[in-house]
Structure formats: C-alpha cells, structure tokens
Structure 1
C-alpha cells in the first residue's frame, strides 16, 4: 500500500511535467495509426469460422481433397417466371449462367455441378441393358425435339428435387469454393466474390422472365460486409448521442469533446495497430470498435467528473487534472487491465474468428489506458473546464441530495436486506431461465440476417422448391485401401443409412450402398427383387463401377465413402439429434476395417462448432471471472471485496443468458463473445465505485456516508455512462442486420444491469460482508504508522 502512495505522485509528476512532449507523441502516433486505419480491409474466411482442431473438422480437413463440394459452396438457382425450364430461351440463359459461375475466381471448377456439366448423367434400364449419358443430349440445338429429349434425361437423372426444382420452374448450379483465389494466390476475398456474383450473375441475368437466387456462406459474409456501412452509420449515431448527452451532463463543450475525442483516438489506435499486425476486420468483429469506444467513454466520464469536482474545490485546471489522475489512476488501470486480460481469455475458444476478436478488443483496451487515463487529463490541464460546468455541478449536487440519499439507503440494513433478497430471487429466475438457452442457430437460413433479407428469401425459395436440403451432414466411412465396396462395408453403410433415415429432422440419405442396390436391380432388368446387396464381390464391383457411381461417392484409393445426410434445417436441436444418432452407431459398429467418422458438410461443420462453443463458454466464463477476481484481489487485498464486485457481474451474465433464451438468440460464434465483453465493461463500474467507497471509509466515514459521498461523484458518472451507452446501442435494434440488432439488445441490457448492480447490489453486499472496512483500516494504520 505504501508503494502505491509513493509511486502515484511520482508517475503523475513525470507525466504532467512532460506534457508538451507527450502531447506531440500522441499527435504523431494518432496520425500514423490513423493512416494505417484507412488500410484496414474486411477479412473473412470459411476456415476462420470453424474449430480446426476439433476431431470432426480435423477429419474433414484430412479428407478435404476427396470431399470436393461438401464444405464451402454456393448454390445459384435460375428461375423462370414462365411455364417451365424446358424452353430454348431458358436453357440458353442457364448455360450462360453455368459458364459465368464456372469462371468466377475461387470456384472449384472440378466440382461444379448442373444439368449443363458432364458430371451429371442419366441412367436407365432397357431391353438391351443399361443406357446412360450426359443430361444435356448430344447434338442439343434448342429444337423442340432436343428439348423433349432433355426433359426425359432430367427425369431419368434423379436430379429432380436436387439440381432441378420439383415444379420444373428453376434449376441449380452448385459451385464448391476454394479458400484461395487462383488469380492472386491469396485467400479468397468474400466481399469481392459476393460482389462479382451480384454483378456477373444476378444483375446480368435478372429480368422480368428470369430470377436469380443465391445461397452459401460466401454470400452471407458478403451481405454482412456490405452492411458495414450501416454498422458505421449506427456507430456515428451512437457517437453523436453520446456527445449530446455528455454536454447535457456536464454543460462544458470542451470537456465533452475531449472525452469523446480520446475515446475515438483509442478506436483509431486499435484499428491502426490491427493493420500493422496484419489483421483485417471480420464481419463478426465489426462491433468491437464500438465496444472500445464505450469503454473509453466510461473512463473518460469518470475523469471529467473528477476534474470538475477538483476545480469546484478551488484547484487550478492543471492541479485539478493532476489530482483527478492521481485519485483514479489505480482504479482505472485495474479496471482496464481486467478488461484486457478478460478479453484475451477468449483465446481459449479454438475458433480463429473469436481469437481475432479477442486480440482486437485487447488492443483497444490497451490503447484506452493511454488515451483516456493519460491523454484526457493532459488535454484538460490545458483547456480546463468551463465555469458553467462547475456552477452547474454545485447546483446539481445541492438539488439531487435527496435522490442520492435515497440510493445510499441500499448501504443500510433495511434496504440492503431488500436488495439482497431481490438479488437472490433474480439469481434463481436467471438460473431457471437460462436452461432454455440453445447452442447454435434457432432459425433457418442465416440468422445473422433478417428473415425478410434477400439471402433468407433466396434460402426459403430453395427449401420450398427442392427436396434435397441445403443442410448436409456428411459421415466419412474410412476403410482399408480397396475395401470400400466390400460386402461388409456396404452392409454396414446400408444399416447406417436406415438408422439415420429414422432420425427426426432427416430428409433423406444418399450413400454408395443405395447406389449399389439400384445398380444391381438395373443389371437384372430393373427387377425390384434384386434391389439388395449381393454377397458376390464381382457383382458389387460391377454395381459400383465408375459408370454407375456419381463422382465424389468413392475416393480414388477406395478407402473413403461419404454418406450424405440431408436435414430439414441446421437448427441446434436437429444437429444434436443427428450427431447423437451417428455417434451411437459408430460406437456400436466401428472395427479395425471400417470406421464411421464425423463430420463434413455445412451441417457437420456447424455441429462441431456448436460442440466447441458449448464446452468453451464455461471455460471462457471461468477464465474471465478468474482473471477479474484475481486483479480485484491484488488491488483491494480482500476476498470479501472481490465478492462484492464480482457477484453483481455474475448476476448480469446469468440474466443475459436467460434473456437470450427468452428472445430466441442462440449461443454461437457471433454471440458467445458478448458475455465476456459485457463482463469487461461492467467491472469498470464496480471497481470505480468500490475504490471511492473504500477511500471514504478509510477516512473514518460510516458505510452509508461513504457510499453517499461515492454516489455524488463516481456513482453519478456510472449512472450517466450506463444510461448513455444503453441509449447509443439501443438504436441498433433498428438495424437491417439482425446480428447487429441482437447485439444491440444484449449490450443495452448488460450496460443497464451492470449499472444497477454497481449502484444497488454492490452497496448491499458491502453492508453484508465489509461494513467494518473503515474501522479495520484505521486499526491497521495505527498498528503500522509507517
């Protein structure tokens, strides 16, 4: 404790004696990092969204080359508003769209599929034997005769409901994507790719008779990145709202602008440093700059409030700024270090996009330590605060005495008991409410976007018009080389297929076993009696030859067979049922020759992500609260103090989870970090109030008087900050991007409840656990006067 007392004035003397030099360094650094900020670009990758070390994803990546088209892909549906697709005009457009998609940078051309590609074939049994060919007939010329042949080929191909709509009014071009742009050799830029799809496909071919529908991860990311302008608009609105409310709060335009400016400088530094480190800004991290701004405002308001109080006591602006810095330095630094290390704990989640978010948030908090704890008081030491602000503060403190006296009653026995009772009740309600919280998506399509967004409308079109779902869960059957079409393997796959077809939420299952049975039937004049697996290996070899099996159903070494499970949707409940069923079958039937391994396909990847998030959320919370608790203990040297600060934060976290369950927001990559970020912002409130409270109690004040004194200064700033930031993010509910609207709901709730916890529950807990703090401090001082 003595070292703190002696170190703080020395640090303050050094900082304030070097004001010109420091301000010049701040200006130069801001200009440099501001230039680097302008070079920050959106950065999104399919691989960054998945937990690459999870066994499911590791297995998928191991076989990625053999599973072309079962990972990241887009679907382009070309719809006619006229009779059906079997017209020369429509087929001409479909061919052109197919060719243009083929040449899009990033498309894995070997896996492209449509009725215009040679890898889509038809087969039939005739009196002469098996017949087949490409769906587009040889010599196709657009004549009525060739169109009639085309229609027959489509019906024989088995692609109705898959690549051709059930009502024959649209057809799909399926394009798997690579993460590398072949033109540049760099990772695929999803914003540019999405823009090319819009320009070269949708805008080029959409007409009164043709409609284009596109789905896929790349398109979702493109829409989110294109929505960055709307995110920036809401950010600007929040900045303006904050400035107006700051001025109304302190009636000093100079200090209001300085507080806002220092918070914006922190954001500039954050984005500039990210660019220097080689990071971009992922669509799921676009809200982090606002969180940094919010934390900066929180600390800035505390400093401005303290400076005005020091000026009110008669100090010159230089001495007032210095005194405010000394009084808040330890509390502010503790809170910000807690924020930064708490955010870094997100690194325990093995999903790169969340780890990048952790880095971005931590860099922003580190910037705030300099911009708001150092730069702000230095600027105000030159500019000062207006006399109007001081006069208003005096009048306000006189007029609001009764209000703050009322709040201070929560530090006395009757109201403290009421507050604690309410707190216990809220813990119980939150615990029960959070039981309905779901891991993963709760809605079909892309939950990050509004239900009426173009993407979700396109997805709804696909679901309504095609039998083959866009949600595919792929189980990889591994065997020894040349053993994939043995009777043992095919029989196990057949049993697995029947097992999965009876799981609720599964539409259909496609496997080599089903194809082999159809082939054996076809080889025996189409007799249904022969639609079964033969124990004769020669028969099985013929039934699974390259002519009978579509590409991608067996790898070259005949050691891998994908079983594709089509799902009704990718909602969390559906994925859980499918994963449980597949794992149970694998556990019961895997042997040294045949192994069923999970999982590929977009639904398999999402299932793995949900599993990682479900496990990681508890690790994350444990690390966040552990780090914050440790830093609070180091600062205040009291476990009881840690409990007083942490319990209100824990209540807010539980209530936030209950709110997510109630409004239908699942825990996933986009929402998981919010809880940790909310803890980081909320701990600032508790630390500032408790630091002021204990300082007053150590001066000999009783708890209620000390809390009243804290409320008039720090508590008032906390209340203002919580309400101001809640209003700023509350505007996000109007965003056309549902992801941002959801974050607006959650952050508004957390800002307000963290404020309530610090103002109402913290003093009640202090009364219960630490009411004799002042007496203990005096006795300690008497026993150790040095």
Structure 2
C-alpha cells in the first residue's frame, strides 16, 4: 500500500512540474486554445434545452416499476396522465354554455402532442357510457347521446345518463359543479418519436385550454406530472435570475475582499467559463437540463469561486513578498496544485457516488456535477493562474497584503484558542453535544413527500390550488395506487379471481388512507344486481361462471387486458405522503403473502402513487449507501494525499457533523428525503472538503517550518483561513436569497445549501484545528511531520 501511495504521489508531483513548465512557457498558445474551446463549447451551451421524462424520474430497476413497465400498455391512463377540470363558477354543469366549453376543451386536448387518444376520457368521449336494466334487459349508450342539442330536455337526459354511468365523483364532481377530462400521455410523441416536451405541453395547455376557455363563468384546473414538470421548467427563469443575483453579490464582496479589479474579474470569469464548458459538454454528450439538475451550474460556479479565491489570495501574498506577477502565479500554482487537485478529485468522485441511486434523473445530475468539477481543474487550476501571470493583483491589493503581513496583531487571533488544548477540548465537547442532538433530531427524518399536492411548488401555487380543488370535489383523488392482479390467460374473470379481488377490496376498506377502490369485480357485481331487478342481494360475485360472463359483456377500458390475464385494482388515496404509501404497500404485501398462488398474484405497483412508493423505497435504502460511498471516496483520496489516518479524521469529521446536522434541520423544518433533496448532502460534502484540504495543507506547511500549532494556525488564518471564511460567507449570502423563489424545492435547496456552506466553513475553521491539537498532542507528530515533508517536498 505504501509503495502504491508513493508511486501515485510521485506521478502527481511529476505531472505538477510538467504542467507548470508547459503552462507558463506556452502562455499565448494555451490562452488561444482556451479561448477557442470556450467559443465552441459556448455555442454548444447555447443549444442546451430542458429535458424531462417520466421514466427518468422513476427507479426503473425497482420491482414495482418493472411490473408497471411490463404491463404499461394494458394500464391506459394509470401511469403518466393529466387531469383537466372544467368548473362552473356559478350553478352546475347542466347549461348549454358549459357543455359547449367542455366539448371544445375535450377536442383541444385530443389533438395535443403526446396524448394517448384512444384512452382519453370525458363525458364527451364515446368510451364513457351508461347502462341501465330494464324489463327488456340492459340498455345503454354514450353519456352524451347522439341527438344532444343543448335543450333543457337534453340536459336533463344528460344528468340521468351521468347518474347511470357511475361517473359521479370520477369524471363529474359530486356537486355537479365541474367535469374532468382524463388525458393519458405517452412518454414519446407518437408522431415524431422524440421524447415528450413537457415545457411545450405545459405551454399548450395554457395557451390552447386555460386562456381561451377560462372566463367569469368557467375555471380551468390542471393537475398531473406533466404540468408539474412544465411549471418547474418555466421556473428556470427564476433560477437564472437568482444565479445573476448570486453572481452580483459575489462580484461586490470579492472586490471588497481582494481590493483588486483583476483579482475580482478573473476568478469570476474563469468560474463562468467552467459553467459554460460544463453546459457545452453536456450538450455534446446528448444531455439536457431537467428541473432537478438546473441548480448544478450554480454549484459548479460556487466550487470554482472557492478555488479561485485561494489562488488569487496566494498570488497576492507572493507579490507582497516581492515576486512579479509571473513568478507569483507560478508559486501559487505550485502551492495549490496538489491540494486543489485533491479537493477537486474528491468533489468529482464524491458526486459520482450518486450513481449508486438507481434513478436516472439523479444519475444525470451526478454526471453533470462530475463534468463540472472536471472542467474546474482546467479553468481554475490552469487558466486562472495563467491569466493572473499577466494581470497580477494590482498595487492596492499588494499594499493591503503587505500591511496584513506586517501587522503585529490580527483579529483572526481569537480563533487560535481552538488550536490550544483547553479551547480544543471545549470545541470538541460542543461538537459532540451537537452530534448527539443531531442524531436524535435526524431520527425523525422522513422519506418522500410530507405535504399533499406537488411539494416542489409552493402551497399557494396555481398547481397546488388546482390539486386541492380536485381533492375537495371528487370522490376519486389524484393520488392513484394500482395493484396488478395477474392470472393465467382467460382467468382474470373467473369466480376464484373475482372473489379473491372482492375480498381484497373489503380488506382495503380498513386501511387508513384508502378512500375507495375500483376493479373488474365491481363491474361484475353491479351488472349482476342489475340483471336481477337491481336487488342488493345479488350485488356480489356470482359463483355461476355463466352469470359472471354475462355480467362482463361490456367492461370499461382499463379494467382488464386483451387476453384476460391482468386485472388492475385501482385505489384512490387520501394523499401521497410517505406514511400513507408505506402503510398501503405493507398492507398489500401482507395480503399477497397470504393469498398469492401459481394461478393468482398481487403485484405492486402502478399509478402515480404506486410509482412514488417505489421511489421512496429506493431512496430509503440508497441514502446511507450514498453517504458511505461519498465519505469513503473522499477519505481514501485524503489518505492517499496526506498518508495519515489522523489527518483524514481532521478533515472528514467536520464534514460528517455538517451532514448530520443538515439531516436534523431537514427533519425539523419538514423537508423529506426525496429525488430533489437527496443529492444535496453529497454536493455539500463535495464543496466542504475543499475548505479542510486547503486549511490543513497550509497549516502543515507552517508546522514543518517549526512553528507551534497556535502560531501556525494564526499564520494559516491570515492567509488561507480568511479565504475560506470569505468563500463560505459569500456563497451562503448568494444562495440564501433562494428562499424567495416561487419554486419550493429551490427555496428548500437555498436553506440547505446556506446551512452547509456556513457549517462546513465553521467546521474547517474551528473543529479542524481542535482535532489537530488533540490528535497530534498540540504540536504535531514528528513522524507525521517527516512523512508529510516527504510528500510535499
């Protein structure tokens, strides 16, 4: 292991010398190359487009989703679908004007791109029918009769047909105040074969449906995955606005910190180049930006600024000691190449660990973040010192650095108390207390959504108000959970199957959170009763197969497949909160374990709530696996670089405390662990490890000069430490403004990232010296100093 480590370190050290010679001896050629690559990738970045897919947002390798994808073609409308509600502001739906609007809305939706037209349903589509038992047998027809003319008699007949169709509470509101158009969607546009453009679809819903038909008499409410994603993509404009605000804040604070125009503009320019390269490379690789990875460019910018500030600060220190801009830049490169490369490799590989989560949208985010970190190595470790070698930091910044070096006292001296035994022990005891409190609070952290509606959006957003309307006026909520009952071919309508499904539905009535359920058994029972003069005594599954066959002469779409081997059982839930979904899945599993056989199986799960239950299970098992991977990778890289387990502890423990406290914060303010929030902890670790590596590297260099730990730490604070403090505060100020975003998940990210930026900074400035003091017995181990001296020499 030691031989391998020395070999790797030797390779890194030799690459440093080679890169330094090429970088500063071929400055003009390399600058021209950087400019050319930036222009090419900038053009590619301008072509990048929002990219969202229903399949990308779900864990396709989870058994629930595998079952859904197997039977997706037989589950029309039970996967990705929209609900468009046409509501009367006064009165009810039985007016010619309302019905004319509902018909036109149905027609508009029918022709939208990506709509599964064969399964689209409203009272104006021929697949929605009524049935009635008469003395002559069953009669029936479409809910809207062929001779409908809008007259009072026709409207009264329509009311009767709705009552006979069983659609009250489903496609028609319980109070007759509104009606639904159910719009199933394909994942790909059938006409073009391209992935469904959710932003375009959302805009079409607004321009062709909501705006033309909404009036003083009519309200339009739209719910469904596609509308949520469309609203999130539209919110990208707000993401860009907040990015611009963060850039402006960083610009002002960086100038106040550095006192140098070049020391402000060059690191910001290099950080923007990193973002441009990242977006351009993503476009070249065929990726777009989905709603959850739109925040990654800002994180790339933040990491780049963090490294840029360190380089500018080191250049200023070198110029204050008399070096010219070229020599100062070369010295800064030498001083920061290994710690900077280690930190960025830790960032990148830490982000790669997100790939263990089998949800494509998170894996795409991992790729985007890793690419961003990779380009920072070029733009901030190479391009930035190259540009500084020409520009320097300016006379004002040099004078400020000289005054700082000459100052006898420093306001940073107060922090050296943590580099002394008493202060170190107090800091560690406080950290231990925070860790215990964090453990207790984080035990209440929940998986999945904690609120009804779309938690990515504000409670008062148009979408969530629309969802609340549907929930309040219909018996069937928008939270649909589907159990797929599979049998042998032609056996889904057998007595044995229907009787067991009926028992299952009775069992579900005792499960909290289940509003109602619907299956083929309900159709058979209703029709059987109808065949016997409507007697409730006959409203059950008949033991006579001929009676069952007669009762299923007409079956509404979606309740069985073509060869009668699949019988979907549709549940309507109170909400899609994690606790509700967990309770429902546990109940279904318990029933299936008792009643599954070779002939009949109860398979989980389809419907939007069924798929979300699968997502919650994946996240529940993946969150700690991801943390183990990210901390394992970062720890290994630090161990290979510093060759000291104690050094790794000094760098990693503050990060671990921040992660723990972040989970506690999520539990306290009601943020669940889900697709949008799970990556944040890994991203926060990636940003925070930079602080620890830079501070420890500088601290160790002063210790090797023979200084005591308090003196070495003070010297570190006056150089690298103040850069870390500035970076943490600046980035926190930049993201705290996100709490004002109309997109709730961006506001949540702003809270969590602000917390992690600040606590990572405090951990590096307080806990790292305290741990160093305790682990190295206050002055540093001679053996350790010798090993580190071999490494850095």
Give the TM bin, normalised by the shorter chain.
over 0.9
Is 1:703 aligned to 2:709, yes or no? Answer: yes
Question: C-alpha displacement at 1:782, in angstroms?
Answer: 11
Is 1:366 aligned to 2:374, yes or no? Answer: yes
Say whether the 8 Å CA contact 1:349–1:355 is kept in structure 2: yes
Match of 2:674 among 648, 668, 671: 668
Tell me: CA distance 1:485–1:5, structure 2 relative to 1, closer, same or farther (3 Å): closer
CA–CA distance in structure 2, aligned partners of residues 194 and 75 of structure 1: 13
Question: C-alpha displacement at 1:777, in angstroms?
Answer: 4.5
| 3-state secondary structure, aligned to 2:222 | strand
Residues 44-87 of structure 1: CA deviation (Å, up to 9, x unaligned)? 00000001110000000000010010000001101112311101
TM-score under structure 1 length normalisation: 0.98
Is 1:573 aligned to 2:553, yes or no? Answer: no
Match of 1:652 among 654, 658, 676: 658
Say whether the 8 Å CA contact 2:643–2:787 is kept in structure 1: no
Residues 551-607 of structure 1: CA deviation (Å, up to 9, x unaligned)? 110111110000001000111111010011011111111001000000000000000
Match of 2:783 among 772, 776, 783: 776
Question: C-alpha displacement at 1:785, in angstroms?
Answer: 14
Match of 1:93 among 86, 89, 101: 101
Tell me: CA distance 1:122–1:410, structure 2 relative to 1, closer, same or farther (3 Å): same
CA–CA distance in structure 2, aligned partners of residues 564 and 498 of structure 1: 13
Match of 1:433 among 433, 441, 463: 441
Say whether the 8 Å CA contact 2:695–2:721 is kept in structure 1: yes
CA–CA distance in structure 2, aligned partners of residues 400 and 15 of structure 1: 37
Say whether the 8 Å CA contact 1:250–1:393 is kept in structure 2: no
Name the residue aligned to 1:610. Answer: 616
Question: C-alpha displacement at 1:353, in angstroms?
Answer: 0.6
| 3-state secondary structure, aligned to 2:150 | coil
Is 1:625 aligned to 2:615, yes or no? Answer: no
| 3-state secondary structure, aligned to 2:118 | helix
| 3-state secondary structure, aligned to 1:181 | coil
Say whether the 8 Å CA contact 2:357–2:618 is kept in structure 1: yes
Name the residue aligned to 2:3. Answer: none
Say whether the 8 Å CA contact 2:703–2:712 is kept in structure 1: yes
Name the residue aligned to 1:149. Answer: 157
When the two structures are aligned, how many residues end up with a matched partner?
784
Tell me: CA distance 1:778–1:228, structure 2 relative to 1, closer, same or farther (3 Å): closer
Is 1:692 aligned to 2:698, yes or no? Answer: yes
Name the residue aligned to 2:227. Answer: 219
Question: C-alpha displacement at 1:402, in angstroms?
Answer: 3.9
Is 1:53 aligned to 2:61, yes or no? Answer: yes
| 3-state secondary structure, aligned to 2:626 | helix
Write out aligned runs for 1:309-348 (5 A). Answer: 309-348=317-356
Which consecutive residues of structure 2, in runs of 5 or more, have no partner in the other structure?
A: 1-5
CA–CA distance in structure 1, aligned partners of residues 571 and 406 of structure 2: 71
Write out aligned runs for 1:2-401 (5 A). Answer: 3=10, 8-396=16-404, 401=409
CA–CA distance in structure 2, aligned partners of residues 703 and 127 of structure 1: 99
| 3-state secondary structure, aligned to 2:605 | strand
| 3-state secondary structure, aligned to 1:82 | coil
Tell me: CA distance 1:239–1:780, structure 2 relative to 1, closer, same or farther (3 Å): closer
CA–CA distance in structure 1, aligned partners of residues 570 and 335 of structure 2: 64
| 3-state secondary structure, aligned to 1:57 | helix
Tell me: CA distance 1:312–1:171, structure 2 relative to 1, closer, same or farther (3 Å): same
Question: C-alpha displacement at 1:627, in angstroms?
Answer: 0.4
| 3-state secondary structure, aligned to 2:672 | coil
Name the residue aligned to 2:504. Answer: 496
| 3-state secondary structure, aligned to 2:358 | coil
Residues 323-359 of structure 1: CA deviation (Å, up to 9, x unaligned)? 0110011000000001001101111111111111001
Question: C-alpha displacement at 1:770, in angstroms?
Answer: 2.7
Residues 368-425 of structure 1: CA deviation (Å, up to 9, x unaligned)? 0010011111101000111111222333456694422210110110000000001111
Say whether the 8 Å CA contact 1:298–1:718 is kept in structure 2: yes
Name the residue aligned to 2:771. Answer: 765
Say whether the 8 Å CA contact 1:694–1:774 is kept in structure 2: no
Match of 2:732 among 701, 726, 732: 726
Which consecutive residues of structure 1, in runs of 5 or more, have no partner in the other structure?
A: none
Q: How large is the Cα RMSD of the aligned pairs?
A: 1.6
Q: Which deviates further from its counterpart, 184-193 or 628-637?
A: 184-193
Say whether the 8 Å CA contact 1:697–1:774 is kept in structure 2: no
CA–CA distance in structure 2, aligned partners of residues 340 and 91 of structure 1: 57
Residues 434-470 of structure 1: CA deviation (Å, up to 9, x unaligned)? 1111111111111111111111111111111111110
Question: C-alpha displacement at 1:780, in angstroms?
Answer: 5.8
TM-score under structure 2 length normalisation: 0.97
| 3-state secondary structure, aligned to 2:719 | helix
CA–CA distance in structure 2, aligned partners of residues 5 and 607 of structure 1: 50
Question: C-alpha displacement at 1:21, in angstroms?
Answer: 0.9
CA–CA distance in structure 2, aligned partners of residues 734 and 12 of structure 1: 45
Residues 725-762 of structure 1: CA deviation (Å, up to 9, x unaligned)? 00000110111111111100000000000001000011
Name the residue aligned to 1:589. Answer: 595
CA–CA distance in structure 1, aligned partners of residues 128 and 105 of structure 2: 17
